[in-house]
């Protein structure tokens, strides 16, 4: 890493003998110039910094304190002061941007021939920061900043005469004066700090702009979200970019927008109904929306992953699966009119879909097919995908899993395709296996129930492979387990007591083993589990919580379990929906710090600083 350089220069003679006009440039590697000059007797000294193309500042340390000129931008800087005989060094340094700039420095001195006052004027010193310590604040709460963390003193002025000015606001919260937010350049005194009038309120949870929607129509991916606002011909698509914190309206039309899907910074949806339904694709990186289809046929059953979008197009007697990459030209997986392809699911460069032959339910060519958009070779049929009633298909790249309901039983089986072969874990007519999830790393989870008991177990395997490394990791499962990477979480019920359990790749644990709390509605992203907690002894500990299974720590996101629910998450960042006003909220659990900038002045001399804040939880 390059180190900022300081250059030094010295005037050749007494400033009273000749003025100095000095030219140079700072910025980049050279952030500071030091110019030394001398005066032979007490003088009035004028220093001017002009010709700036970027922000630069002046300062001059003396035995009376340091005098500075820090005007913003390219404005000229000036110092006019009285100095005793001696040698001094003026400092020219870059401003906030550290951009390069040429400059012109002029120094002039005029001797003062006066009789000293019988009583010398007092020397005014700059305020001194005696406390500027890291302040730990609670998330989504206000915390008082007292003098133990921020305090300045001055030999000549009282605490009520030392004025702080906000030069930079906090980014994840607000600085408050008597609980009212302070704006940029607002002021307060050391006496205000001493009296407990200054506090910091963290805002880890913020309402997303223009986010009026039902929770049933909210979709999230990473730190981004998309939703449908309104219904029927009034339905419109909105997109929230978590990186910028901005909401963009993607549609403005008088037709119904539906079948919304989101993947990363991309989104796809269907505008219109029936034969007027058309596919649209939004690329969040380029901020461009493309109409993908222009036809008079019904387009439906949309699926999206990355830039690959696939859908079903209906013809008079059959249907095709079609796809587009990044809003480009439309291609069909298969254009044959002898069968119908439908229900596409996209993962990576692969599309899996169902194929049928109308009323011919015994045609051996029916089943699940897999198509690679990279090679565009003919889609392959997955073996044993025509056994019984096939449903609940999930995939990870070229690996596919699905449930079947055999014709002679009402117990589910699971089949797996590992990229080469199809296999089943168990075909027993006494075991009911139900596929619940495939994680982003390819780990799978499913529940199992035997005919002799209603209690469900949860099974986990790190990958679809034959043989599978299958592990029974929990029992008394209530709801559907959810996997993320190599981790797994699920809800359990023991009588009236509800718990959230998790598997960390080797061992199963419960977040809480007591009976006071009912924990449920668990979701997982990475090592983080979001869940709802109902305090059976009252509302003291009610709320939605975030549990880190690696650090084994728990933090409360919100205390509202009546109106708020989790609709998506990305690590420690969580999307919540408020049913009271149909708004979306974003909880930023990743950022663990905040800060604000300030100057403290006694009316003539100032000191600058940064106040750092850590976030608890």
pLDDT at 305 over 80: yes
Q: Are 487 and 523 in contact (CB under 8 A)?
A: no
Tokens 């419960």 correspond to what residue?
A: 510
Q: How confident is the model at residue 387 (pLDDT cuts 50, 70, 90)?
A: confident
Phi, psi (degrees; rounded to nearest 5) at 89:
-130, 120
* pLDDT at residue number 140: 86
> So what's the pLDDT on residue 554?
94
First-to-last C-alpha distance (Å) of the chain: 34
Report the alpha-carbon distance of residue 261 to residue 241 in Å, rounded. 15
Q: What mean pLDDT, rounded, does the chain reach?
A: 91
Average pLDDT over residues 390-419: 89
φ/ψ bin of 27: left (φ > 0), alpha (ψ from -120 to 50), beta (otherwise): left
Beta strands at 30-39 and 5-10: parallel, antiparallel or unpaired: parallel
Which CATH number applies to 5-111? 2.60.120.380
CA dist 125 and 61 (Å) reads: 11
- 66-87 average pLDDT score: 88
8 Å CB contact between 605 and 559: no
Q: Report domain extents, the chain.
A: 5-111, 129-204+593-616
The answer to whether the CB of 137 falls within 8 A of the CB of 615 is yes
Of 406, 441, 407, the C-alpha closest to 424 is 406
**What distance in Å separates the CA atoms of residue 544 and residue 553, rounded to the nearest whole number?**
14
pLDDT at 268 over 70: yes
Express each pLDDT in 135-182 by its tens digit: 999 888 899 999 999 999 998 899 999 999 999 999 999 999 999 999
Residues 562-591 have a mean pLDDT of: 94
Reported as a single tens digit per residue, the pLDDT across 350-373 is 999 999 987 777 788 899 999 999
CA distance 442 to 407: 30
- Hey, how many other C-beta atoms are within 10 angstroms of the C-beta on 263? 21
Sheet of strand 20-26: strand arrangement: 20-26, 101-111, 43-50, 77-83
Is residue 32 over pLDDT 60? yes
Q: What is the mean pLDDT of residues 463-472?
A: 89
Report, as an integer, the average pLDDT of 336-358.
94
Is the pLDDT assigned to residue 110 strictly greater than 80? Answer: yes
What residues contact residue 336 under an 8 Å CB cut-off, 6+ apart?
none
> DSSP letters along 92-161, please?
EEE-TT---EEEEEEEEEEE---PPPSSPPPP-PPPEEEEE--EEEETTSEEE--TTTEEEE-SSS-GGG
What pLDDT shows up at residue 281? 98
State the pLDDT at residue 116: 57
What pLDDT sits at residue 115? 60
Q: If pLDDT is split at 50, 70 and 90, which confidence band does 612 have?
A: very high
* Average of per-residue pLDDT across 554-575: 94
| Half-sphere CA count of 390, side-chain side, radius 13 A | 24
- Residue 217, SS3 per DSSP: helix
User: Taking residues 251-271, what's their average pLDDT?
Assistant: 96
Q: What is the largest CA-CA distance in the chain?
A: 117
- Residue closest to 591 by CA, chosen among 560, 575, 576, 613: 613
* Dist CA 505 CA 483 (whole Å): 11
d(CA 587, CA 400): 34
Q: How confident is the model at residue 117 (pLDDT cuts 50, 70, 90)?
A: low
Is residue 128's pLDDT more than 80? Answer: yes
Q: Evaluate if residue 119 carries a pLDDT over 70.
A: no
Tell me: pLDDT of 493 over 80: yes
pLDDT score at 2: 47
The mean per-residue pLDDT over the stretch 494-522 comes to 94
Reported as type and span, the H/E element at residue 458 is strand 457-461
pLDDT at 215: 66
The more confident residue out of 115 and 55 is 55
Ranges 23-32, 262-271, 451-460, 479-488, most confident = 262-271
Residue 194: CB atoms within 10 Å:
14
Distance, in Å, from the CA atom of 189 to the CA atom of 150, rounded to the nearest integer, reads 11
Instruction: Calculate the alpha carbon distances from 543 to 141, 153, 154, 518, 533 in Å.
Output: 15, 44, 47, 11, 5
pLDDT at 307 over 80: yes
Share of the chain above pLDDT 90, in %: 64
164 and 600 Cβ atoms separated by less than 8 Å: yes
CATH of 129-204+593-616, one of 3.40.1350, 3.40.50, 3.30.2450, 2.60.40: 2.60.40
The answer to whether the CB of 543 falls within 8 A of the CB of 558 is yes
| pLDDT value of residue 454 | 72
Question: Which residues on adjacent β-strands are paired with residue 502?
Answer: 489, 509
**pLDDT of 442 above 60:** yes
pLDDT category at 129 given cuts 50, 70, 90 is very high
Query: What pTM does this model have?
Result: 0.73
Q: How many residues does the chain have?
A: 617
Q: Whole-angstrom Cα distance, residue 361 to residue 354?
A: 13
Q: For residue 427, is pLDDT > 90?
A: no
What pLDDT score does 120 carry? 62
Please give the Cα distance from 332 to 313 (Å, whole number). 9
Confidence of residue 576 (pLDDT cuts 50, 70, 90): very high
Answer whether 284's CB lies under 8 Å from 277's CB.
Answer: no
- Round to whole Å and give the CA distance between 560 and 545: 11
Q: Quickly state the pLDDT bin for 1 (edges 50, 70, 90).
A: very low
Contacts of 463 (CB under 8 A, 6+ apart): 399, 441, 442, 443, 444, 469
């Amino acid at each position: 890493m390059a180190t900022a350089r300081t250059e030094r220069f010295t005037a050749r003679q007494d400033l009273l003998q000749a003025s100095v006009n000095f030219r140079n440039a700072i910025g980049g590697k050279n952030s500071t110039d030091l110019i030394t000059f001398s005066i032979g007797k007490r003088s009035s000294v004028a220093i001017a910094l002009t010709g700036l193309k970027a922000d630069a500042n002046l300062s001059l340390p003396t035995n009376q304190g340091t005098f500075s000129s820090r005007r913003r931008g390219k404005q000229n800087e000036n110092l006019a002061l009285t100095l005793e005989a001696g040698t001094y060094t003026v400092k020219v340094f870059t401003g906030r941007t550290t951009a390069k700039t040429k400059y012109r420095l002029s120094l002039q001195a005029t001797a003062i021939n006066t009789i000293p006052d019988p009583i010398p004027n007092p020397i005014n010193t700059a305020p001194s920061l005696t406390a500027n310590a890291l302040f730990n604040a609670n998330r989504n709460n206000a915390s008082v900043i007292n003098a133990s963390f921020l305090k300045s003193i001055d030999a000549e002025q009282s605490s009520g005469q030392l004025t702080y000015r906000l030069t930079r606001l906090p980014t994840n919260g607000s600085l408050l004066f008597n609980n009212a937010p302070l704006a940029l350049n607002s002021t307060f005194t050391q006496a205000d700090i001493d009296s407990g009038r200054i506090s910091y309120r963290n805002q880890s949870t913020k309402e997303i702009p223009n986010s009026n929607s039902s929770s049933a129509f909210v979709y999230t991916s990473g730190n981004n979200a998309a939703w449908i606002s309104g219904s029927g011909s009034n339905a419109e698509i909105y997109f929230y970019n978590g990186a910028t914190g901005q909401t963009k309206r993607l549609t403005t039309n008088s037709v119904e927008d539906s079948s919304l899907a989101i993947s990363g910074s991309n989104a796809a949806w269907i505008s219109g109904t029936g034969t007027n339904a058309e596919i649209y694709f939004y690329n969040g990186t380029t901020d461009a929306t493309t109409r993908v289809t222009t036809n008079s046929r019904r387009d439906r059953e949309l699926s999206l992953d990355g830039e690959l979008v696939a859908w079903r197009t209906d013809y008079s007697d059959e249907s095709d699966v079609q796809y587009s990459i990044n809003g480009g030209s439309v291609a069909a997986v298969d254009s044959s009119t002898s069968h119908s392809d439908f229900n596409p699911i996209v993962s990576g460069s692969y599309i899996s879909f169902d194929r049928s032959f109308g009323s011919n339910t015994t045609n051996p060519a029916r089943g699940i097919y897999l198509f690679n958009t990279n090679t565009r070779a003919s889609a392959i049929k997955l073996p044993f995908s025509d056994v019984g009633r096939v449903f609940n298909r999930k995939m990870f790249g070229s690996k596919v899993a699905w449930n079947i309901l055999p014709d002679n039983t009402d117990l589910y089986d699971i089949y797996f395709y590992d990229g080469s072969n199809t296999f089943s874990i168990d075909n027993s007519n006494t075991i009911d296996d139900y596929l619940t999830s495939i994680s982003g790393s390819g780990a799978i989870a499913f529940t199992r129930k035997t005919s002799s008991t209603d209690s469900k177990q949860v099974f986990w395997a790190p990958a679809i492979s034959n043989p599978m490394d299958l592990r029974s990791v929990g029992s008394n499962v209530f709801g559907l387990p959810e996997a993320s990477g190599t981790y797994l979480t699920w809800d359990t019920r023991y009588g009236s007591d509800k718990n959230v359990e998790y598997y960390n790749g080797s061992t199963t644990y419960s977040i809480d083993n007591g009976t006071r709390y009912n924990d449920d509605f668990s979701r997982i992203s990475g090592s983080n589990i979001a869940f709802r907690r109902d305090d059976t002894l009252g509302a003291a500990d009610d709320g939605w919580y975030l549990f880190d299974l690696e650090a084994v720590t728990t933090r409360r996101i919100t205390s509202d379990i009546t109106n708020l629910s989790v609709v998506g998450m990305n690590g420690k960042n969580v999307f919540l929906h408020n049913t009271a006003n149909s708004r979306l909220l974003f909880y930023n659990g990743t950022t663990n710090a905040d800060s604000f900038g300030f100057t403290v002045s006694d009316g003539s001399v100032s000191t600058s600083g940064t106040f750092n804040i850590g976030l608890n939880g």
